Amino acid sequence: MTKNKYILAIESSCDDTSVAVVDISYNIVVMNTSSQPEHVVFGGVLPELASRLHMKNILILVESCLQQSHLSLEEMSAVAISINPGLIGSLLVGLSFAKSLAWALNLPLITVNHMLGHVFANHLVHGYIDPPYLALVVSGGHTELINFESDTVFTCVGKTLDDAAGETFDKAAKLLGIGYPGGPVIDKLAKNGNPSFYNFPLALKQKNDYNFSYSGLKTAILQFLSSHEENWIKEHQADLAASIQYAIVTPLVKKTVRYAKLNNIHTILIAGGVAANSYLRAQMDKAAAQIHAKVFYPSLTLCMDNAAMIAAAAIPKFFKGEFADLSVNAFSDKGTRYI
């Protein structure tokens, strides 16, 4: 019997510290994630605090993964780490830890782009999905439409020119005074609201390209809310949430499905925190069915930042023997890329 090969992966790019062991057939053996509720009072992530909390949590999470899986560090075949994009201090905590482990255990180090990890989260849920496919990557900092020819060759065919979809959810929730992060709260509230209550401008920008723009919508939400009384806003919270959600989601669905249709693509992967949005899922499924395309989403847990997706994105590199030198550095530039 051949011995299974395991990748120990670490994710620390923003405010979640996560450690996972994943085998090279995309099965999650164990994963432990520690989120940082300490940021909630600030209404956003405090970078210095995030780095310090990663330092506090990372070793505890590695130890609990090993304990729960009954595996030892010596049974790992590689260490995977996300090194871009993200908060530089947070990335460096994870990278330094991963380098030390790889060096001490004489294991290969595999460096991964966090956004590519979000796309690869789909393989953990549905089994390996054969390219070509179109991926819509929608998170707190990114809104990108990416055409994948293979696991390692892909092109960004559209992206936001200003704010990201997740960021717009978060800003809208802040203006509505309903908490952080905004996406899940708006999603929940909107279930009891009317999406046609108010027509906020759709973030379509040019109708004939595949870019997005959310700054106009953000300004429109701000202007609308500041011209209404607090009590009125509170009373119509669900309708406003549904109308805002409609304006954020509609361009995502329209542009993704139009690109797939015109380029004869029948597989669409949705990825990133906003992939958890129930309205996006329902609308995307409906529109894709009309062009006979199949849509894949990660599970709700795997939509969020997690280490298993970092291991998944490391698997093609593991097979190709593409290992990083221990002098490798982290960097914060945005974008989904093969690094």
Determine if residue 267 is left, alpha or beta; phi over 0 gives left, psi from -120 to 50 gives alpha, anything else beta: beta
Among 26, 120, 133, 169, binds ligand KG4 (CB under 6 A): 169
Here the tokens at position 244 are 């805002």
- Does 181 bind ligand KG4 (CB under 6 A)? Our answer is yes
Among 144, 151, 163, 170, binds ligand KG4 (CB under 6 A): 170
Instruction: Give one DSSP letter per residue of 236-296, joined into a string.
Output: THHHHHHHHHHHHHHHHHHHHHHHHHHTT--EEEEESGGGG-HHHHHHHHHHHHHTT-EEE
- Does 296 bind ligand KG4 (CB under 6 A)? Our answer is no
User: CA 93, CA 82: separation in Å to the nearest integer?
Assistant: 11
- Does 189 bind ligand KG4 (CB under 6 A)? Our answer is no
Task: Decide: 330 and 97 in contact? Cβ < 8 Å.
Answer: no
* Closer residue to ligand KG4 (CB): 6 or 32: 32
In the complex, what is the shortest distance from the CB of residue 1 to ligand KG4, in angstroms, rounded to a whole number? 38
In the complex, what is the shortest distance from the CB of residue 234 to ligand KG4, in angstroms, rounded to a whole number? 21
Residues 6+ apart with CB under 8 A from 105: 73, 74, 76, 79
- Does 305 bind ligand KG4 (CB under 6 A)? Our answer is yes
Count other Cβ atoms within 10 Å, centred on residue 222.
13
* Closer residue to ligand KG4 (CB): 120 or 169: 169
Task: Decide: 332 and 87 in contact? Cβ < 8 Å.
Answer: yes
User: CA 193, CA 140: separation in Å to the nearest integer?
Assistant: 24
Q: Which stretch binds ligand KG4 (CB under 6 A): 75-83, 136-144, 200-208, 259-267?
A: 136-144
Among 16, 144, 170, 305, binds Zn ion (CB under 5 A): 305
Among 17, 36, 82, 139, binds Zn ion (CB under 5 A): 139
Residues that bind ligand KG4 (CB under 6 A): 14, 118, 139-141, 166, 169-170, 181-184, 187, 272-274, 276-277, 304-305
Residues that bind Zn ion (CB under 5 A): 139, 305
